[in-house]
């Protein structure tokens, strides 16, 4: 009978240890996932800012260059602005059939990666 009590006591100790280990493992996995997400967000934000400023200067240069071609700086900026308006209209027209499914599929593939 005492062997049974001892075995039950060991089983209880092992079960408690197993649960604690499982909880520690879950915490470690959650910490890893959160740290990866934070690092990806930081890299994404910095990359976005750098790309934004790069493109800003490229398009200012393009507007000035087009302005010298047409002998009017203002007209150069309006031509580049018209290009952006055309691009905006194109994105708006393709949003439901191309852009939204592409973004949705990208997010789903990252979640199940």
In this predicted model, what pLDDT tens digit does every residue of 75-112 receive, in sequence order? 999 999 999 999 999 999 998 898 889 988 888 887 77
Domain borders along the chain are: 2-111
What is the four-CA torsion angle of 43, 45, 50, 53, rounded to 10 degrees? 170
Tell me what pLDDT residue 106 has: 85
Least confidently predicted of 17-21, 50-54, 81-85: 17-21
Quick check: 2 pLDDT over 70?
no
The predicted model scores a pTM of 0.61
How far from chain centre, in Å, is Cα 28?
22
DSSP string, 27-79: HHHHHHHHHHHHHHHHHHHHHHHHHHHHHHHHHHHHHHHHHHHTT-HHHHHHH
More confident residue, 77 or 9: 77
């Amino acid at each position: 009978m005492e062997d049974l009590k001892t075995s039950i006591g060991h089983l209880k100790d092992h079960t408690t240890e197993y649960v604690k280990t499982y909880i520690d493992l879950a915490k470690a996995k959650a910490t890893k996932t959160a740290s990866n997400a934070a690092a990806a967000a930081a890299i994404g934000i910095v990359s976005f800012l750098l790309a934004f400023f790069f493109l800003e200067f490229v398009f200012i240069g393009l507007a000035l260059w087009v302005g010298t071609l047409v002998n009017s700086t203002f007209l150069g900026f309006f031509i580049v602005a018209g290009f952006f308006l055309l691009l905006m209209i194109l994105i708006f027209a393709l949003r439901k059939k191309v852009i939204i499914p592409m973004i949705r599929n990208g997010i789903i593939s990252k979640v199940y990666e």
